[in-house]
Copies of this chain bind each other. A is one copy, B any other.
Amino acid sequence: MTGRQHGVSAGVNLGALRTHNTALVLDLLRTAGPSGISRLELAERTGLTPQAVSKIIARLRLEGLAAEAGRRTSTGGKPRTVLRLLPGAGHAVGLHLDRDELTAVLCDLTGTVVAERRAPLDLGAGADTVVEGAAVEVEALLAGLSGPEPAPVLGVGVALPGPLDHTRGVLHRVTGFPEWSGFPLRDVLARRLGTAVVVDKDTNAAALEVAVRGAGPSACLAYLHLGTGLGAGLVIGGGVHRGARTGAGEFGHQVIQLDGPPCECGNRGCVEALCLAAVARGDVDGAARVLGAAAGNLVALLDIDEVLLGGRTVAAHEEAFVRGVGAVLDERARREGADRAVPVRAAPGGARTVAEGAAQLLLAPLFGRGEG
């Protein structure tokens, strides 16, 4: 297919056209879930003719990606045949490298976790040790993929705290561990495992996971991650927005009190500092209010459709954070005369959201989400 050259959007040929439409159909099949979807419905939703859909479906069935699954009740004529995605036709591994723990999940095509492993993690043990440990966990997961003809593994997605360069898969500085600075994680792990590897920030992976579930192809949502730090993953126009330097989502050091207390970043009045300080002194409601104010800024700036909260600190006081942030947003929406407030929810999937999102780094492109 035609390559992409220094920032110029590429020309499109028949191959790209087919890939696009196929991805569209696959995404609708995936979204439909086990209950399936009919050819005609696919035609309506994509805008393609029924005949085009029939051809695409025939190809997908031949490739083992889709299958017929019963029929709907007749509406006066021949009943529609229901089609569904074959989840086992492909798998991907999601690897979440958190500060002290490694989580690895094996996901099928639908993104469902079919196996999971956890292990302690010590970034201070050195790059080689960490990479080897991660590779062993991945191999252990893949060993469970048996069967007469094992379905292909698309690759391994790795999610970890930034900053990093997702296009090249290279880490920048990792706070406290200077040896990791500039480490080419993607290439090293890809060579070690012999599979495709994609590296991204943990917050971006979580945002992708949330976008792939439920959110439509043009949705805008914000995933706010409050753990030992505060960061965000942004979904804009249905896709994760990373920016040219994978820097987008820098939310924690949003200055929200010009003359506030100093933050370790060198600035004053960052949300992260204010929020974590409130949590530290046991004032969860106060932390939620501060987080809500910053979230309000973000929601207004980008016209966000939905806010999702995740991370350990949120998980520890889930109800309080959802309620507190929601209250601030509601109040602001009411003042500004908006028809409806922006919904705030805890990110579904809990602690596994990031790992599942890491797997989606490889799965999502199949469905036209992400830079496939």
Chain A residues near B (Cβ < 8 Å): 2-5, 7-14, 17, 20-21, 24, 28, 44-48, 52, 173, 216-220, 232, 234, 236-238, 241-251, 253-260, 265-267, 269, 274, 290, 293-294, 296-298, 300-305, 332, 335-338, 368
Contacts and interface: CB of A to CB of B under 8 A. Distances in A.
A311 to B, nearest CB: 17
B8 A46 contact: yes
Contacts of A234: 301-302
Given A8-B46, A21-B12, A303 B336 contact: no
Contacts of A251: 300-301
Contacts of A220: 243-244
Contacts of A266: 335
A104 B293 CA distance: 39
Contacts of A5: 44-45, 47
A303 B265 contact: no
Q: Which of A20, A173, A337 is most buried by chain B, counting CB atoms within 10 A of its CB?
A: A20
B216 A302 contact: no
A290 B14 CA distance: 51
A13 B20 CA distance: 10
Contacts of A219: 7
Contacts of A21: 11-12
B257 A259 contact: yes
B4 A47 contact: yes
Given A9-B218, A247-B303, 7 more contacts: A8-B24, A11-B21, A218-B244, A250-B300, A256-B257, A258-B290, A298-B301
Task: Give the number of copies in the complex.
Answer: 2
A8 B216 contact: yes
B10 A244 contact: no
10 contacts: A7-B217, A13-B17, A13-B48, A17-B17, A220-B243, A243-B304, A245-B303, A247-B338, A250-B300, A251-B300
Contacts of A20: 11-12
A125 to B, nearest CB: 25
A237 B234 CA distance: 13
A48 B248 contact: no
B10 A265 contact: no
A24 B48 contact: no
B368 A9 contact: yes
A256 B240 CA distance: 26
Contacts of A28: 8
Interface centre among A7, A247, A298, A337 (most CB of B within 10 A): A247
B256 A258 contact: yes
B11 A47 contact: yes
A48 B17 CA distance: 14
A45 B8 contact: yes
